Amino acid sequence: MTDQDELFVRGEGDSWFHRNSAYLNAPVRVTDDRVMKVVELARLQPRRAVEIGASNGYRLDALAKRYGCSGLALEPSALAVVQGRRTFPGVRFVRAVASELPIATGVTFDLVIVYFVLHWVGRSRLLQAVAEIDRLVQAGGHLVIGDFHPPAPERVPYHHRPGENIWTYKQDYAALFHATAFYDTEMFAAFDVGAPTSATGALAGASTRGAVTLLRKRTRSSGEEGT
Ligand SMILES: C[S@@+](CC[C@H](N)C(=O)[O-])C[C@H]1O[C@@H](n2cnc3c(N)ncnc32)[C@H](O)[C@@H]1O
């Protein structure tokens, strides 16, 4: 685990949850949710959904209620997991970071969600996180990636822990998956995340452009075609 991953396991994930729990438990969180909207617009019918950095699992609960799918929440914050288990008993929770997912090889999901999480993954483990996420997506299944989406990659200090060498890394994360040629983009929407908030950890002056991308995993990668 990197220092930055460990920081979220050891307490920063709890701090984020604590700061945002009222918002996370408000009904508007689901009715205004861009991921729910993408799933609806793409007419997906998920059967097995997993969210990495799922917080208290509110989105998986909403998906389960709307589509009858199962929901697995992977989240480093103990507080979010305890509250989520109590509030959303239909969602299964496992404490984990994106770069080390405790899911057996070969277990896959038809809907994988990673929303505003990768900007906090330590850079030395970013590609490991990408590989871990990729292995959970079943062939022909969908991956929803949302995050900051500045015109060029940005690294800004995480303002809740000033002077501690902790960063928010803003870049186009869907591009990492797309570059493998394992995925096709089915939907893309850019938006402004708004003024810096405790939820985003963004700094004034830094980019507040966000985006959500719906990717579909190919049943064969383009490199395999014709072989
Ligand atoms: C900005 S919140 C987003 C929560 C949720 N995805 C949503 O859309 O409401 C980021 C979440 O990622 C979690 N997180 C932080 N570092 C992580 C890591 N390395 N792997 C997985 N989750 C992480 C935090 O604890 C927090 O719950």
Encode pLDDT of 141-171 as tens digits: 999 999 999 999 999 988 888 888 889 999 9
Atom of ligand 1 nearest to the CA of 114: 6
Q: How far apart are CA 73 and CA 204, in angstroms?
A: 31
Q: Is the C-beta atom of 77 inside 6 A of ligand 1?
A: yes
pLDDT at 149: 96
- Mean pLDDT score of the chain, rounded to an integer? 91
pLDDT for 207? 81
Position 204 pLDDT exceeds 90? no
Tell me how far CA of residue 62 lies from CA of 28, 83, 108, in angstroms: 12, 16, 20
Residue ID of nearest Cα to ligand 1 atom 25: 13
Q: What angle do CA 15, 173, 185 make, to 5 degrees?
A: 130
Distances in Å between the Cα of 154 and the Cα atoms of 79, 113, 119, 122, 159 are: 30, 23, 10, 14, 14
Query: What is the Å distance from ligand 1's center to 72 Cα?
Result: 14
- What is the tens place of the pLDDT at every residue in 91-144? 999 999 999 999 999 999 999 999 999 999 999 999 999 999 999 999 999 999
CB distance 114 to ligand 1 below 6 Å: no
Q: What pLDDT does residue 198 have? A: 46
Q: 104 or 208: whose pLDDT is higher?
A: 104
Q: Where are the alpha helices (DSSP H) in the chain?
A: 3-7, 13-24, 28-31, 34-41, 58-67, 78-87, 126-136, 174-178
Spell 139-153 as b/e; 16+ CB within 10 A means b: eebbbbbbbbbbeee
Q: What are phi and psi of 123, to 5 degrees?
A: -60, -30
Distance 51 CA to ligand 1 centre (A): 10
Segment 86-93 shows an average pLDDT of 97
Tell me: pLDDT of 203 over 60: no
Which residue type occupies 94?
V
User: 18-32, 39-53, 75-89 — which is least confidently predicted?
Assistant: 18-32
CA dihedral 119, 197, 56, 109 (to 10 degrees): -40
105 alpha carbon to ligand 1 midpoint, in Å? 23
What is the residue-wise DSSP string for 27-61? THHHHT-HHHHHHHHTT---SEEEEET-TT-HHHH
* 220 CA to centre of ligand 1 in angstroms: 30
Is the pLDDT at 201 greater than 50, yes or no? no
| Res. 75: pLDDT tops 80 | yes
Residue 26 sits at the vertex; the CA angle it makes with 22 and 31, to the nearest 5 degrees, is 145
